[in-house]
Amino acid sequence: MPRVDPSRANPFRPGFGVSPRVLAGRDELLEEFDTALDEGPGSPLRSILVSGARGMGKTVILNELEEAARVRGWLIIRLPESGGILEELASTILPAQLAELDSERAVRRRVTGARVAGIGSLSTTAQERYEVRENAATLIARLLDVLAGHGTGVLFTLDELQAVDRESVAAFAALYQHLVRDERDVALAAAGLPVGVGQLLQHRGTTFLRRAERVQLGPLSDADVIDAVRRTVEGAGGEISADALAALAESVHGYPYLLQLAGYRAWRESAGGALTPAHVRATSRVVSQRMGRLVHEPALRDLPQAQHSYLVAMAQDDGPSSTGTVAARLGLTAQHANVFRARLIERELILPAGHGLVDYSLPYLRDHLRREAASS
């Protein structure tokens, strides 16, 4: 690999959950959320459930929604992904925030744009004042009263929704519903995998969340990918040819994570110089393997064996697979095989690709399954 020019830092950021320098294709959602915060209580876009496959940028969207609220002076509370949500709110998170904010000076500092401090030690005065144990509802109401005097509110965010205890989410949903009914300045943004979000919303205690705005993150268009890559490269003082942009769009398959990963590797190949199609092609092996480790393996980890076998049977084809052929390879009736097909579509691992045809929905999944079979 050529020596990298140290004066040109790689502008692509392929870490999971790390916001890219240029966010591709999600402007409309962020603009609608901005409007919802400005409209006041009652705006439907103040409650958002984001779902999408791994690598579609769910956590990045939460980051951007948090930033939109933060610049308006709103308090951001990230709900815990393990344990009891209400219990942790009442025991640590809310007392710490009240200790920090219960002064004219502290609120003014936040409203001017300071980040919410992490949970740390409480001052002696604050400990004495909020010494009595209170429940989450009472503490949230008090916190909102403090913020209301400064025209701000609280945005609650929750990531990996599919992994959170459903009873805990239901208890928080009930509390949040009362805050909305009382027209308090609150908002909620949660994100998770489609199957997990769907199962959660079937829970008897999450009826209110079913009314939240559902946002399904799909693949980016090639135009969005090309625009984001071009702006990222040029913003870092680099150059990229039109052919290289087209090659990157083809390798990315509309996946936000792949956009960052392929762009990062291509930039390294070019050593910070002008990016060409050759640099993009040189990334294909690494990109495929990295997708396997970070996206495919987690997606397949808890998959029932029968559904996994269906995916493996599809990997014998170089393109879309005939459902009849896959059933024959597995020794199943068409009706039996269609049960597995439906489950895999629900999990967003495959998608219909024409009459009687299915294909993988995750880029490079075929390559991963073939490597898996070859090594077993």
CATH code (residue 85): 3.40.50.300
Structural domain contains residue 1: no
Angstrom distance (rounded) from CA 188 to CA 331: 47
Q: Are residues 76 and 168 in the same domain?
A: yes
Strands 213-216 and 186-192: unpaired
Q: What percent of the chain has a predicted confidence (pLDDT) above 90?
A: 65
pLDDT of res. 105? 37
Distance CA(213)–CA(50), nearest Å, equals 8
In this predicted structure, what is the pLDDT of residue 64?
93
Which residues, other chains included, contact 335 with Cβ-Cβ below 8 Å and sequence gap of 6+? none
Same domain? 67 vs 106:
yes
**Cβ 259 vs Cβ 11: under 8 Å:** no
Whether 326 and 229 map to the same domain: the answer is no
The residue assigned the tokens 């103040």 is 46
Looking at the domain assignment, is residue 285 inside a domain? yes
What is the reported pTM? 0.80
Assign 126 a pLDDT band (cuts: 50, 70, 90): very low
Q: Are 239 and 274 in contact (CB under 8 A)?
A: yes
DSSP letters of 271-324? Answer: TTS-B-HHHHHTTHHHHHHHHIIIIIHHHHHT--HHHHHHHHHHTTSSS-EEHH
**Same domain (yes/no): 69, 206:** yes
For residues 96 and 69, state if they share a domain: yes
Strand 75-78's sheet: what is its strand order? 75-78, 154-158, 186-192, 47-51, 213-216
Which pLDDT band holds residue 111 (cuts at 50, 70, 90)? very low
Does residue 105 or residue 134 have the better pLDDT? 134
Give yes or no: residues 318 and 208 share one domain. Answer: no
Of 190, 216, 242, which closes a domain? Answer: 216
- Residues 76, 207 within the same domain: yes
Domain that holds residue 252: 222-292
Q: Which one has a higher pLDDT value, 20 or 307?
A: 307
What CATH number is associated with residue 265? 1.10.8
Instruction: Say whether 63 sits in a helix, a strand or coil.
Output: helix
In this structure, are 92 and 228 located in the same domain? Answer: no
Residues 306 and 249 reside in one and the same domain: no
Q: Is the pLDDT of residue 176 over 60?
A: yes
User: Could you tell me if residue 233 is inside a domain?
Assistant: yes
| Tokens coding 59 | 């956590």
Query: Of the candidates 292, 322, 346, which is a domain's last residue?
Result: 292
**Element (DSSP H or E) covering residue 326:** helix 323-330
Residues 278-299 pLDDT 10s? 999 999 999 999 999 989 999 8
**Does a structural domain hold residue 78?**
yes
**Element (DSSP H or E) covering residue 28:** helix 27-39
Domain boundary pick from 244, 270, 292 = 292
Name the DSSP letter for residue 11: -
**% of the chain at pLDDT higher than 70:** 90
Q: What is the pLDDT of residues 59-72, one digit of tens each?
A: 999 999 999 999 99
Number of separate domains in the chain: 3
Taking the CA atoms of 335, 337, 340 and 344 in sequence, report the sign of the dihedral they define.
negative
Are residues 212 and 226 located together in one domain of the fold?
no
